[in-house]
Amino acid sequence: MMVYVDADACPVKEQIYRAAARHGAPVTVVANGPMRVPAAGVALVRVGAEPDAADDWIAARVAPGDLVVTADIPLAARALAAGAACLDFRGGEFTPRRIGDALAERELHRYLRDLGELPGGPAAFAPRDRSRFASKIDATLNRLLRAGR
């Protein structure tokens, strides 16, 4: 099991590092730019500055039993298609059953923003989001470890 982190805008990296260390899971942080990561159990992969370089790198390597942490819905769809589990930064889990709806909603929001009909963006990241994520990653890593035995 590997934990892949789409890291450039990830606000929960510390929670990922702690949970992965507790469960003995290696972490690969994929980013477009420089980033500090812990020396033990965490690898940093820097990819090019192209818009989807990190997503493409992760999607090419993810395998069944892995965990991908991302807010990018198309990357989540690719990870699920590869048999991986996938969490967003707020502790939501992308599932094969719901990913089609998430992709459609993303496209609808893009269309409405282009028309000027959808103001603003997502709600500000809150402490309760961080807490929910910490609980969810622990539960997900437990589930993946049990399934891999």
> Hey, where are the domains in the chain?
3-148
Residues 17 and 29: their CA atoms lie apart, in Å, by 10
Tell me: the pLDDT tens digits for 115-146? Answer: 777 676 678 999 999 999 999 999 999 999 99
pTM for the model: 0.88
Candidates 3.20.20, 2.60.40, 3.40.50, 3.30.70; CATH matching 3-148 = 3.40.50
- Per-residue pLDDT tens digits for 16-56: 999 999 999 999 999 999 999 998 999 999 999 998 999 99
Residue 12 near residue 140 (C-beta atoms within 8 A): no
CA pair distance 37, 87, nearest whole angstrom: 20
